[in-house]
Amino acid sequence: SSSPTIMNHQHARNPGMEFDVAWVESVQVNAPAVQHRAETHFKRRSIKKTWQLAWLCRAVSCLDLTTLQGNDTASNVQRLCGKAMHPIRPDLVQKMNLEGKKITVASVCVYPNRVVDAVACLKGSGVPVASVAAGFPAGQTPMAQRVAEIRSAVSAGAGEIDIVISREHVIMHNWRALYDEIRAFREACGDAHLKTILATGELPTLRDVYKASLVCMMGGADFIKTSTGKEPVNATLPVSLVMIRAIRDYYERTGHKVGFKPAGGMRQAKEALAWLALMMEELGPDWTRPDLFRFGVSSMLIDLERQLEHGITGKYSSEHYMGMG
């Protein structure tokens, strides 16, 4: 097996902790306050024009460029990897004097069968390969099989693993079972970083979302992620705020930093900037960098590139000039 590319993190990994049922059971969420904060954020928060180009570039560097289709082949994965290594058109990079900065996306995310293709394409680029695993997207396969899938993706060279939790454990409030599941997944990952997808559109309440976030972090998750991108409801702001507050609570109590990844439902560059502003306000500057913040929306890259072009030249190209590889 090859040694996987793993992003250079500025902080120690979250090792997890003993399961603390009292902490989980004590969780309360003020739903009206969460809704109010969510509704006002996008209305009032924007990034000043002078700084927009820099923040658009930062948003690009936080993207997990993803293809999770039944008809994925080696060739479309290769094209995506080409885009991952050079996400911004070379003429725009030159005009911003950023040739030496080597701007790439944060990772390329694929199904386990396509990890080998992505690893071969990205060799030497420093861009890690992320693989979904553990019965993605439903998580309804036997536990031994889910763990084996993680081990297989890691041995193929995946440096990050995006697993989906068993929603049943949350719905039934079986928090110990969820903790044990995440612990087993973390162990199977070894050095590869673990992102736990809550599939929040399928969880009953905001309080359940907070508790599930907390239990995943106790179990050793490096990131908590909203959605698979396959559910009808993706990364809504109220749900994300609850997850972000859980990250803050966990950090304040344990000193361990856990990343956050909203996935699905976003399309526009202005949304990316508003998300980065939210992370800055709620968690601070460390959570505006790719080792603690990711977007799981590949299609946003097209608009990020168009807005960069407009900021530099004052003009927009048609979308077909901003290909995805």
Q: Which amino acid is at 292?
A: L
Residue of 52, 156, 173, 142 whose CA lies nearest to 114: 156
Q: How far is it, in rounded angstroms, from Cα 288 to Cα 78?
A: 28
Residue of 241, 244, 237 whose CA lies nearest to 286: 244
pTM for this prediction: 0.94
DSSP assignment of 212-235: HHHHHHHTT-SEEES--S-SSS--
| Predicted local confidence at residue 11, as pLDDT | 85
| Predicted local confidence at residue 147, as pLDDT | 98
Q: Which amino acid is at 103?
A: I
Q: How far is it, in rounded angstroms, from Cα 36 to Cα 38?
A: 5
| Predicted local confidence at residue 34, as pLDDT | 94
As averages over each run of 10 residues, the pLDDT of the chain (325 residues) reads 72 96 97 92 70 92 96 97 96 91 95 98 97 97 98 98 98 98 98 97 96 98 94 86 97 98 88 91 96 92 94 81 62
Output the six-digit token pair for 36.
């109010």
Query: Which residues are identified as catalytic?
Result: 162, 225, 261
| φ and ψ of 67, to 5 deg | -135, 120
| Predicted local confidence at residue 325, as pLDDT | 58
**Contact, 107 vs 43, CB < 8 A?**
no
**Contact, 298 vs 264, CB < 8 A?**
no
| Predicted local confidence at residue 321, as pLDDT | 62
| Predicted local confidence at residue 32, as pLDDT | 95
Residue of 263, 166, 200 whose CA lies nearest to 34: 200
What is the 3-state composition of the chain as percent helix, strand, coil, each rounded to the nearest 5?
50, 10, 40
How many Cβ atoms sit within 10 Å of the Cβ of residue 216?
A: 33
Output the six-digit token pair for 120.
């071969």
* Residue that is written with structure tokens 């976003």 in the block: 266
- Angle subtended at Cα 244 by Cα 240 and Cα 249, rounded to the nearest 5 degrees: 145
Distant-in-sequence, close-in-space partners of 238: CB < 8 Å, separation ≥ 6: 31, 34, 35, 38, 206
| Predicted local confidence at residue 234, as pLDDT | 80
Output the six-digit token pair for 91.
């003429």
Q: How far is it, in rounded angstroms, from Cα 64 to Cα 23?
A: 32
Omega into 137 within 30° of 0, i.e. cis? Answer: yes
Residue of 34, 39, 32, 45 whose CA lies nearest to 281: 45
Sign of CA dihedral 72, 267, 82, 134: negative
